Amino acid sequence: MSDGRAVLVVEGLHKTFTLHTQGGIQLPVLRGVDLTVYPGECVALTDPSGSGKSTLLRSVYANYRPQRGRILVAHDGARIDMVDAGPRELLAVRQRTIGYVSQFLRVIPRVPTLDVVVEPLRAFGVARDAALGRGRALLARLRIPERLWSLSPVTFSGGEQQRVNLARGFVADFPILLLDEPTASLDVASRAIVIELIRDALARRTAIVGAFHDAEVREAVATRTVSLHGAGVAA
């Protein structure tokens, strides 16, 4: 990286969707995005819906495959390009370097909430008891009643599921966190807790990139705002 301290560098990222099942129409979403993120920063993407915020976050996580560009991530002391890295490396990055909180929880039936939450800690080699302790603390903080911890989130409300999702996202200390509308479907009190969690993470020098629809949340946590609109801007 040109700057030794940046943990995430996006260079010239292009992403176009080609819908073969619909006659091959093309939807260009990202046109040459550049972005550099440092530890302790919270970069808020400010574009309107449908402009590619999710697409950028998913591309960084290698959930989407860009056509062109580089996504450089500091991982285990080396530099990995998420665009052309092999699957093993990508999985390793996801296990230990980049955490991703999507807009909804993908529920696996029969897995208790607590197990869902602590699962990321496995990759960090955290002992089971310690992991469960952290999971419980986080669930309590997010105001998920204890009687729900042993149940699968399958029957939870949207808000409850999202809070479980957040717990899972924040339980481990990822150096980089990607947050895609983390407070959608949450009430005011929960939003406040999320703000605290983000601030705690920033205090730990986590680098955060997020899409925050809610202006209040955005203003509370963002250290920088960026717009992807047009040719993309790096602040």
Residues that bind another protein (CB under 8 A): 17-21, 58, 62-65, 87-88, 90-91, 108-111
In angstroms, what is the minimal distance from the CB of 60 to another protein?
Answer: 12
In angstroms, what is the minimal distance from the CB of 195 to another protein?
Answer: 28
Q: Which two tokens stand for residue 107?
A: 């529920």
Q: What is the DSSP letter of 223?
A: S
Nearer to another protein among residue 6 and residue 60 (C-beta): 60
Nearer to another protein among residue 63 and residue 97 (C-beta): 63
Centre a 10 Å sphere on the Cβ of residue 229 and count the other Cβ atoms it contains: 14
Spatial CB neighbours of 47, under 8 Å, sequence gap ≥ 6: 53, 227, 228, 229
Centre a 10 Å sphere on the Cβ of residue 219 and count the other Cβ atoms it contains: 12
Nearer to another protein among residue 29 and residue 194 (C-beta): 29
Nearer to another protein among residue 65 and residue 224 (C-beta): 65
Q: Which two tokens stand for residue 165?
A: 């999702």
Centre a 10 Å sphere on the Cβ of residue 122 and count the other Cβ atoms it contains: 12
In angstroms, what is the minimal distance from the CB of 59 to another protein?
Answer: 9
Nearer to another protein among residue 179 and residue 195 (C-beta): 179
User: Which residues are paired to 30 by β-bridges?
Assistant: 15
In angstroms, what is the minimal distance from the CB of 167 to another protein?
Answer: 20
Nearer to another protein among residue 62 and residue 166 (C-beta): 62
Helix axes 158-170, 188-203, angle to 10 degrees: 10
Nearer to another protein among residue 88 and residue 147 (C-beta): 88
Dist. CA 29–CA 164, nearest whole Å: 30
In angstroms, what is the minimal distance from the CB of 91 to another protein?
Answer: 6
In angstroms, what is the minimal distance from the CB of 224 to another protein?
Answer: 27
Instruction: Detail the DSSP E strand segments found in the chain.
Output: 8-19, 25-37, 42-45, 68-75, 78-81, 98-101, 176-180, 207-211, 224-226
In angstroms, what is the minimal distance from the CB of 88 to another protein?
Answer: 6
Dist. CA 213–CA 51, nearest whole Å: 13
Contact predicate 201/153, CB 8 Å: no
